Chains A and B, each alone.
Chain A
């Protein structure tokens, strides 16, 4: 597998500057907590983020998966409500289609294209039993009603479709920061006739996986930061709770794990950007690590913050809900491990 190798690998300094810039913007655009309008509010600031170049951070030749991952991590930190991973993965694929194929409807009405994957658990017989449906897609964060889709199909290719011609079902989800849906396509998807379709079908899945891990890391990092800050303020028996080993030691363990998450993600995005031959295995390693640790860390941070951590207002639960959903979108805890076992060929 070889993806398009760019010579635009960002330096650590460039990534740090980007983070700072994005964080400043997002803090002003998304200062509060999710409310009833949160999920549907993402188009409001779409243009502002577009102007800042967030959605083009993955486009060649200046963009890279590493850069986009840094952006998505910042979006995760503010519980960004929109389909950031789907948009960036679609941008990755569309901007690399060798013969310039364009997704029908893209750019119309301001609706960004989303990357989607065909549901591998739906078999042909099930589709045949529902004659009005041509394909089922894996759950994804919802876009606009008329959103164009670039779909990685189960036959290993790519196809164009539109959310406008689909049954949209709300997915039962803990996540209150994003609207997660399942689509059933009503029209036959339009196969992408491109020499690079098969490669980009695979790479699009990997990119989406890495970006979701970045979103998760943003959540973990933010919760750890808030919990550590709280532990330096909250006192009990005359001392801040961070002084107690029962609290401090668990936070240290979580911080060490979070450092590993960051290094693994950085390594995998760099490997991807450089077209490393084992990038699929590295991605599977990252998602396996993340899927088994992210919710545990945040769940324990709820515990370490005590009763205030259990309140709606304190807000740890928003992040817990989101990373549980991210794990679910990856197929649960088991599927990433199965993919890794397959890649490793033990």
Chain B
């Protein structure tokens, strides 16, 4: 996928091989599914934290950080992309997006004290981070959030409000909070980012059970939370610029979606081999074979979109629409693949050998619905793309 991203193919191949070897040796055993990430017990949590710490320790993550915080000279977003692709390919636990983003924000906007205090704890996986952004009343129109942070005479801030869809909130030690510090200016101009200790008094985290049966997201009640002034990230009322800072590695991670699609398609073929019809296996049925071909072509189409996005990030020629086009195409195809897999499984008798792949499809089917909603719903993405691709007037 990213063979062209790094300087030389040999170097790239060597690095990829090194990553694969590392994952083979160090990744925790067992089945890890997207959508069931929050550890169920203390032992699982220890295993996952150890895995994340190993990734940082080996330079697989955080390699592009400043050297004084553990960065590796010569490391680039290309290498991050390779690591993410190989982790996905191995079906190992994926690094947590919001932890990587928190690190990026602290590096970009944090004080020396904040960097020194928090970055090592991220590297050792002592701290998991969550994002306290969305609220019951705002989602994609985030700038209109209503959680308030009022400065007290001693300089600290009192925060009151409610956050929701806080991924990993129940096992996070820290949170990146976006709150309103000025209500008299336009919405984007009155926001400030705070680094919040999730164990502070005044924070109540309540997991939300989702349609997968898991509880990955939480609602978070902030009632009289006191945040010291030195926990502001960046400047007061400049929070919008902070949370909208892109992460080059994160944009390059879109390449990992192509690996995910390859895995899904392989699972689709495997499922077709495990479903029996009266006349034989589904994989030999002409109708199924045509459907597989169509889905294969669709996967190839979305891969080409993702590949272009990654290439443009690498070349510095990416445009704002790239990431949204890639997200929309990937997430919608993910849903379509999952729907077809469910239809395929229901169209015949599942062989006992197919139980494992069917279990993966069941989970993927349910989780796929989160992909088209989180991080900007498909509807919002289409709204934005309509302005970017066609110059249409905003519909909102």
Q: Which residues of A line the B interface, CB within 8 A?
A: 228, 231-232, 239-240, 242-245, 248-249, 251-253, 255-257, 259-261, 263-264, 267, 284-286, 288-289, 292, 334, 336-338, 340-341, 344, 346
Structural contact, B293 and A341, CB atoms closer than 8 A: yes
Residues A261 and B301 in contact in the complex (CB < 8 Å), given A240-B392, A245-B379, A256-B329: yes
In Å, the complex CA distance between A340 and B389 comes to: 32
Structural contact, B296 and A232, CB atoms closer than 8 A: no
Q: What does the 1/0 interface line of B280-306 toward A look like (CB < 8 Å)?
A: 000100100110111011101110110
Number of A-B residue pairs with CB-CB distance less than 8 Å in the complex they form: 113
Q: Kindly list the 9 A-B residue pairs having the minimum CB-CB distance in the complex, ordered from nearest.
A: A260-B301, A263-B304, A337-B293, A248-B386, A242-B392, A289-B297, A340-B293, A341-B289, A288-B297
Structural contact, B325 and A256, CB atoms closer than 8 A: yes
Nearest CB of chain B from residue A130's CB, rounded to whole Å: 30
Structural contact, A252 and B386, CB atoms closer than 8 A: yes
In Å, the complex CA distance between A240 and B386 comes to: 13
Does B43 count as interface, using CB distance less than 8 angstroms? Answer: no
Q: Which residue on chain A has the smallest CB distance to residue B378?
A: A249
Q: Which residues of B line the A interface, CB within 8 A?
A: 269, 272, 283, 286, 289-290, 292-294, 296-298, 300-302, 304-305, 307-308, 325, 328-329, 379, 382-383, 385-386, 389-395
28 residue pairs of the A-B complex, CB under 8 angstroms, read A231-B390, A232-B390, A232-B392, A240-B392, A242-B392, A242-B393, A243-B392, A243-B395, A244-B395, A248-B390, A249-B386, A251-B390, A252-B382, A253-B382, A256-B325, A259-B305, A259-B325, A260-B304, A260-B329, A263-B304, A264-B300, A285-B296, A285-B297, A286-B297, A288-B297, A292-B294, A341-B290, A344-B293
Residues A337 and B304 in contact in the complex (CB < 8 Å), given A243-B393, A248-B392, A255-B389: no
Contacts of A239 on B, CB cut-off 8 Å? 393
In Å, the complex CA distance between A267 and B300 comes to: 10
Contacts of A346 on B, CB cut-off 8 Å? 269, 272, 283, 289, 292
Contacts of B382 on A, CB cut-off 8 Å? 245, 248-249, 252-253
Contacts of A288 on B, CB cut-off 8 Å? 293-294, 296-297
Nearest CB of chain B from residue A244's CB, rounded to whole Å: 7
Q: Which residue on chain B has the smallest CB distance to residue A334?
A: B290
Q: Which residue on chain B has the smallest CB distance to residue A225?
A: B390
Known: A289-B298, A289-B301; 4 extra A-B contacts, CB below 8 A, are A248-B382, A249-B386, A260-B305, A341-B289
Residues A337 and B289 in contact in the complex (CB < 8 Å), given A243-B392, A248-B386, A288-B294: yes
Nearest CB of chain A from residue B113's CB, rounded to whole Å: 45
Structural contact, A263 and B383, CB atoms closer than 8 A: no
Structural contact, B301 and A248, CB atoms closer than 8 A: no
In Å, the complex CA distance between A256 and B300 comes to: 13
Nearest CB of chain B from residue A319's CB, rounded to whole Å: 19
Q: Which residue on chain B has the smallest CB distance to residue A286?
A: B297
Contacts of A256 on B, CB cut-off 8 Å? 305, 325, 328-329, 385
Nearest CB of chain A from residue B391's CB, rounded to whole Å: 7
Residues A337 and B392 in contact in the complex (CB < 8 Å), given A252-B382, A256-B329, A260-B301: no
Structural contact, B386 and A340, CB atoms closer than 8 A: no
In Å, the complex CA distance between A332 and B103 comes to: 53
Q: Which residue on chain B has the smallest CB distance to residue A248?
A: B386
In Å, the complex CA distance between A346 and B300 comes to: 16
Contacts of A248 on B, CB cut-off 8 Å? 382-383, 386, 390, 392, 395
In Å, the complex CA distance between A163 and B389 comes to: 46
Q: Which residue on chain A has the smallest CB distance to residue B304?
A: A263
In Å, the complex CA distance between A243 and B382 comes to: 12
In Å, the complex CA distance between A251 and B328 comes to: 13
In Å, the complex CA distance between A288 and B292 comes to: 11
Structural contact, A338 and B290, CB atoms closer than 8 A: yes
Contacts of B294 on A, CB cut-off 8 Å? 288, 292, 337
Nearest CB of chain A from residue B268's CB, rounded to whole Å: 10
Structural contact, A251 and B386, CB atoms closer than 8 A: yes
Contacts of A245 on B, CB cut-off 8 Å? 379, 382-383, 386, 395
In Å, the complex CA distance between A345 and B375 comes to: 37
In Å, the complex CA distance between A68 and B283 comes to: 37
Contacts of A338 on B, CB cut-off 8 Å? 286, 289-290, 293
Structural contact, B305 and A340, CB atoms closer than 8 A: no
Contacts of B296 on A, CB cut-off 8 Å? 285, 288, 340, 344
Structural contact, B393 and A337, CB atoms closer than 8 A: no
Nearest CB of chain A from residue B336's CB, rounded to whole Å: 12
In Å, the complex CA distance between A207 and B329 comes to: 28
Structural contact, A263 and B308, CB atoms closer than 8 A: yes
In Å, the complex CA distance between A98 and B305 comes to: 38
Contacts of A260 on B, CB cut-off 8 Å? 301-302, 304-305, 329
Contacts of B383 on A, CB cut-off 8 Å? 245, 248-249
In Å, the complex CA distance between A285 and B379 comes to: 29
In Å, the complex CA distance between A334 and B292 comes to: 12
In Å, the complex CA distance between A340 and B390 comes to: 34
Q: Which residue on chain B has the smallest CB distance to residue A240?
A: B393
Contacts of A264 on B, CB cut-off 8 Å? 297, 300-301, 304
Contacts of A242 on B, CB cut-off 8 Å? 386, 390, 392-393
In Å, the complex CA distance between A245 and B272 comes to: 37
Nearest CB of chain A from residue B389's CB, rounded to whole Å: 5
Structural contact, B300 and A285, CB atoms closer than 8 A: yes
Nearest CB of chain B from residue A124's CB, rounded to whole Å: 25
